[in-house]
Amino acid sequence: MLVQPNIELKKINIVKKNITDSISRWIRPEIRALKAYHVPPATNCVKLDAMENPYQWPESMVDEWLELVKDVELNRYPDPSARVLKESLRQTMSVPDNAEILLGNGSDELIQMILMAVADKEQTVLSVAPSFVMYDMVTTYAGMKYVSVPLNNDFSLDVDTFLKAIADHTPAIIFIAYPNNPTGNLFDRNDLQKIIDTAPGLVVIDEAYHAFADDSFMNEAGSVDNLLVMRTVSKMGLAGLRLGLLAGKPEWLAEFDKVRLPYNLNVLTQATALFALSHQSVLDAQTETICKTRTHLIAELTKIESLIVYPSDANFILFRTEKDQANKIFEKLKEAGILIKNLSPMGGALTDCLRVTVGMPDENDAFINALVKSL
């Protein structure tokens, strides 16, 4: 709408309100009701709260990278479509030839792009509970309805209830984290296939933790009309770069590309990710070490009789403490300089649950020692 000049100049009467009233007037109630995503400070802590890969690169690789970064042209905008990086990721992540790729500033941004393209208050986003909190949060940002189907007691998927929820709510988008965060498990592949076959809209299989798991839907991306597969480099040791990937039918991705901000991947991310992917064997070796260490950490946790330890296909482990002990244990670990994630305040199935990221062997030992003392 173009404002027409007002020929009869009227006196404009603007009454300035105080800031609280102004916020109530202009900020949507559902945003006012939210709490911003909180990341606790972790200075001088053993950081086992955020599913990061704890390993650094070998010194020679760091030197080679610094040489490369010297030549990055910070005065220029980045390649808006990151063509070279996309091709490298296509190889590394085995994206099928018939699938298109869309890159995001972390997979968080891809979730945002998908929902922004749909953003309609009549439309529903469906997932399971508990799952990755950003599905729910970004749905709220987009002004849409969020519905979640509780997982079974062992955190497996209740497929019959999920299929009923699809029939009841006709979701525009379904998000399934595979493996799931914060539970760490893969769901039954046949159940996910049923969901994909039944869904009227898109199904996003979020494979953020793929590096630590043995299964994937990537082969189907590009062949199945309503399937998108999402990955990230964050769990492969590159969380600081902020780079996520979405693979699927070109027709869908062309729509999401319209809501992508033009230069969403900065020059340093593009150059560094390309460099890191050309040293894939270093990242793979780190992932392999994390998987081996995970087995050891699960064994150590399982020795503690008062805990229930859940199986993990990811780089973190969920465990349940005795009733009402999670907050106390979390605080005692923090006092001992070890930061994990307290999920108990989220309630529901996560009451009394804590989540620990698999760290380096000495970090895991420090965690187990402090945990035993905190019980």
Q: Which is nearer to ligand PMP, 116 or 304 (CB)?
A: 116
Sign of the dihedral defined by the CA atoms of residues 274, 275, 278, 281, in that order: negative
- Helical segments of 16-82, H only: 19-26, 29-32, 59-70
Strands of 227-232's sheet, edge to edge?
A: 100-104, 244-248, 227-232, 202-206, 173-177, 124-129, 145-150
Of 237, 318, 316, 305, the closest CA to residue 273 belongs to 237
Contact 340, 367 (CB under 8 A): yes
Q: What CA–CA distance (Å, rounded) separates 182 from 133?
A: 9
Q: Which is nearer to ligand PMP, 192 or 370 (CB)?
A: 192
Q: Which residue is nearest to ligand PMP (CB)?
A: 106
What tokens were used for 86?
């996309």
Burial label for 168, CB within 10 Å (0-12, 13-18, 19+), is: exposed
Contact 244, 109 (CB under 8 A): yes
In the complex, the residues that contact ligand PMP under the rule CB under 6 A are 51, 106-108, 132, 177, 181, 206, 208, 232, 234, 239, 244
Q: How far is the CB of 116 from ligand PMP (least distance, A)?
A: 16
What tokens were used for 375?
């019980």
Q: How far is the CB of 269 from ligand PMP (least distance, A)?
A: 12
Residue 270: phi, psi to the nearest 5?
Answer: -60, -50
Q: How far is the CB of 111 from ligand PMP (least distance, A)?
A: 7
Q: Which is nearer to ligand PMP, 317 or 368 (CB)?
A: 317
Q: How far is the CB of 181 from ligand PMP (least distance, A)?
A: 4
Of 314, 48, 355, the closest CA to residue 178 belongs to 314
Q: Which is nearer to ligand PMP, 166 or 208 (CB)?
A: 208
Q: What CA–CA distance (Å, rounded) separates 313 from 308?
A: 16
Q: Which is nearer to ligand PMP, 114 or 368 (CB)?
A: 114
Q: How far is the CB of 323 from ligand PMP (least distance, A)?
A: 27
Q: Which is nearer to ligand PMP, 184 or 222 (CB)?
A: 184
Q: How far is the CB of 232 from ligand PMP (least distance, A)?
A: 3
Q: Which is nearer to ligand PMP, 114 or 177 (CB)?
A: 177
Contact 102, 96 (CB under 8 A): no
Q: How far is the CB of 14 from ligand PMP (least distance, A)?
A: 41
Q: How far is the CB of 58 from ligand PMP (least distance, A)?
A: 24
Q: Which is nearer to ligand PMP, 234 or 344 (CB)?
A: 234
